[in-house]
């Protein structure tokens, strides 16, 4: 390691550097905890003189860095290379073209999922679509059916909205028991982004919806041609066709050049690579799909089909990927997580430290938005006892997360979809 100050450095920088060294010499055994007595930083004793990271020039500080022409489309630091989507054959029967890669919730901050980490679920692989050759056909029960190029579509005045997309199978593998020592696999079938596009109700002002139109079929232009029907009330409320994802074009995995966004409802309705919208008086009927998306109750009767993802929450710190291994009695720690509801806005989140016996109110931090992830936080002074953490969210539609036990009693354990019960990290 080259520890000398390089010749290219200005005199000022060299002087500052000396001043910094002297400061640390004077304060000798400097302790972070002493400076941050009232904060939540776990105490770390640092003797500055013995720490080369403080006292010596690092190799990156004594030579030129990369020019602006390097990496013209930016990438995360190489030191973050383990922060990726992940998948397992257990979720796909081995066919990675009809599979899912899940979001690393444990590595995210705030409520926005970076585009490269947005979960990715498809049934026929990610197509490589030339936007100049892609068309959107809108027809059926409209006065003026039409076909739009991408340029024509983007002439509609656009809106940007922050919403999560959640596969209704999120958490589904754990109906019976915990399966994954991983928050990424247990709850990462979802992500949240800022989407830009146009409300379908605004396009319909031009096209003229006929009064007997009760359903909208959306069909994808990928090899799976995935089709889903959406009730007209939801279409006219907040359904969008989007082309922007966190400030740039949709990623190919998210449906480039356009996808349907049905805020808060089952992710499968958000048809990617959107090619066709057809308005009809009857729902597009496919027996197999209807059966697939209907959960059975204990008595064997089917639960009626439902669309919205119910109020839910997950603790992301601590988590199996990032456990608190060096926690000591008296340490102050921040318990953090995400809450969301497909029916409205998160009103509050309770935390239990003892597996659901007692509850305390967490605080909501940052933006609290309709049908978006909401980050919650609870500052805890650790008392040395084992922590059995649970979170329980409630929304402004009046729903409170049930316990896993309540949910199992109502639905049984054979479900796959819409699992939103809370449990402690011990899985009960
Ligand atoms: N055309 C098309 N759209 C699709 C799918 C698909 O396979 N093809 N998968 C759906 C499913 S099941 C989900 S959960 C969401 C996932 O969106 P994402 O991959 O952007 O996370 O897309 C939906 N839209
Ligand atoms: Mo899904």
- pLDDT higher than 80, residue 90: yes
**Whether residue 230 sits in one domain with residue 268:** yes
pLDDT above 80 (res 25): no
* Ligand 1 contacts CB of residue 419 (under 6 A): no
Query: Between 322 and 2, whose confidence is greater?
Result: 322
* Residue that wins the pLDDT comparison between 100 and 38: 100
Same domain, 235 and 120: yes
Would the pLDDT of 292 be above 60?
A: no
**Does a structural domain hold residue 28?**
yes
Angle value at C-alpha 173, between 169 and 175, nearest 5 degrees: 100
270 lines ligand 1 (CB under 6 A): yes
Whether 75 maps to a domain, the answer reads no
Q: Is 340 close to ligand 1, i.e. is its CB under 6 Å away? A: no
C-alpha 111/C-alpha 365 separation (Å) is: 10
Domain contains 366: yes
83 CA to middle of ligand 2, Å? 22
pLDDT classification of 418: cutoffs 50, 70, 90: confident
Is the domain of 121 the same as that of 264?
A: yes
Give the model confidence (pLDDT) of 213-272 as tens digits.
999 999 999 999 999 999 999 999 999 999 999 999 999 999 999 999 999 999 999 999
pLDDT at 21 over 70: no
Query: Within a domain: residue 133?
Result: yes
Domain that holds residue 341: 312-426
Q: What is the CATH number of the domain that holds 323?
A: 2.60.40.650
pTM, 2 dp: 0.87
Higher pLDDT among residues 167 and 15, named by residue:
167
Task: Read off the tokens for 166.
Answer: 């959640």
Q: Looking at the structure, do residues 271 and 176 belong to the same domain, yes or no? A: yes
Q: Model confidence over 132-166: pLDDT tens digits?
A: 999 999 999 999 999 999 999 999 999 999 999 99
Residue that is last in its domain, among 290, 320, 350: 290
Q: How confident is the model at residue 3 (pLDDT cuts 50, 70, 90)?
A: very low
Does 217 lie in the same domain as 97?
yes
CATH of the domain at 159: 3.90.420.10
pLDDT digits 0-9 by tens, 340-398? 999 999 999 999 999 999 999 999 999 999 999 999 999 999 999 999 999 999 999 99
Which residues have C-beta within 8 Å of that of residue 361, sequence separation ≥ 6?
348, 349, 350, 351
pLDDT of residue 412: 73
From the CB of residue 95, how many other CB atoms can be counted at a distance below 10 Å? 10
In a domain, 402, yes or no: yes
Domain count, the chain: 3
Residue 70 lies in a domain: no
Within this chain, do residues 121 and 233 fall inside the same structural domain, yes or no? yes
Contacts of 140 (CB under 8 A, 6+ apart): 213, 217, 277, 278, 279, 280
Tell me: pLDDT of 23 over 50: no
Ligand nearest the Cα atom of residue 267: 1
Residue 308 backbone dihedrals phi, psi, to 5 degrees: -75, 140
Same domain, 136 and 274: yes
149 and 193 both lie in a single domain: yes
| Residues 118 and 210 grouped into a single domain | yes
Could you report the per-residue pLDDT of 49-62, keeping only the tens digit for each?
Answer: 888 999 999 999 99
What is the token pair recorded at 415?
A: 């479900």
Mutate to test the pocket of ligand 1, among 86, 101, 121, 188 (most ligand atoms within 8 A of CB): 121
On average, the pLDDT of the chain sits at: 86
Would 81 be classed as within a structural domain? no
Closest CA relative to residue 86, chosen from 182, 1, 160: 182
Given a cut of 60, whether residue 169 has pLDDT beyond it is yes
* Residue 34 and residue 106 share a domain: no
**Beta strand 390-395 pairing with 346-352:** antiparallel
| Assigned domain for 306 exists | no
Q: Where are the alpha helices (DSSP H) in 51-182?
A: 52-55, 150-153
Q: In this structure, are 142 and 254 located in the same domain?
A: yes
Are 275 and 160 contained in the same domain? yes
Atom of ligand 1 nearest to the CA of 260: 24
């Amino acid at each position: 390691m080259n520890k000398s100050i390089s010749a290219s450095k200005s005199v000022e920088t060299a002087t500052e550097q000396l001043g910094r060294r002297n400061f640390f010499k004077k304060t000798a055994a400097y302790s972070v905890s002493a400076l941050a007595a009232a904060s939540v930083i776990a105490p770390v004793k640092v003797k500055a003189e013995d720490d080369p990271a403080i006292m010596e020039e690092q190799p990156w500080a004594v030579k030129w860095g990369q020019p602006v022409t390097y990496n013209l489309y930016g990438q995360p630091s190489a030191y973050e290379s383990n922060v990726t989507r992940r998948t397992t054959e257990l979720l796909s029967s081995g066919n990675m073209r009809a599979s899912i890669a899940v979001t690393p919730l444990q590595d995210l901050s705030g409520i926005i999922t970076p585009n490269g980490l947005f979960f990715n679920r498809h049934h026929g692989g990610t197509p490589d679509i030339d936007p100049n050759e892609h068309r959107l056909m809108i027809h059926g029960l409209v006065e003026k059916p039409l076909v739009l190029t991408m340029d024509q579509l983007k002439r509609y005045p656009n809106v940007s909205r922050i919403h999560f997309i959640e596969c209704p199978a999120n958490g589904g593998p754990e109906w019976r028991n915990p399966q994954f020592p991983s928050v990424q696999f247990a709850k990462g079938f979802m992500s949240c982004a800022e989407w830009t596009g146009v409300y379908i109700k605004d396009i319909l002002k031009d096209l003229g919806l006929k009064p007997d139109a009760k359903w909208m079929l959306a069909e994808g232009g990928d090899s799976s041609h995935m089709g889903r029907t959406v009730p007209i009330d939801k279409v006219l409320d907040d359904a969008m066709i989007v082309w922007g994802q966190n400030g740039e074009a949709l990623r190919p995995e998210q449906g480039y050049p356009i996808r349907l966004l049905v805020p808060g409802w089952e992710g499968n309705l958000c048809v990617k690579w959107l090619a066709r919208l057809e308005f009809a008086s009857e729902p597009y009927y496919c027996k197999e799909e209807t059966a697939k998306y209907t959960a059975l109750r204990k008595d064997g009767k089917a639960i009626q089909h439902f669309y919205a993802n119910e109020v839910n929450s997950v603790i992301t710190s601590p988590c199996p990927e990032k456990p608190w291994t060096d926690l000591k009695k008296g340490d102050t720690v921040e318990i953090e997580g995400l809450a969301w509801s497909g029916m409205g806005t998160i009103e509050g989140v309770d935390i239990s430290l003892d597996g659901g016996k007692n509850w305390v109110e967490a605080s909501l931090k940052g933006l609290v938005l309709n049908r978006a992830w909401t980050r919650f936080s609870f500052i805890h002074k650790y008392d040395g006892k084992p922590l059995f953490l649970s979170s329980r969210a409630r929304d402004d539609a009046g729903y409170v997360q049930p316990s896993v036990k309540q949910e199992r009693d109502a639905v049984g354990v054979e479900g796959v979809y819409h699992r939103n019960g809370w449990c402690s990290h011990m899985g009960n």
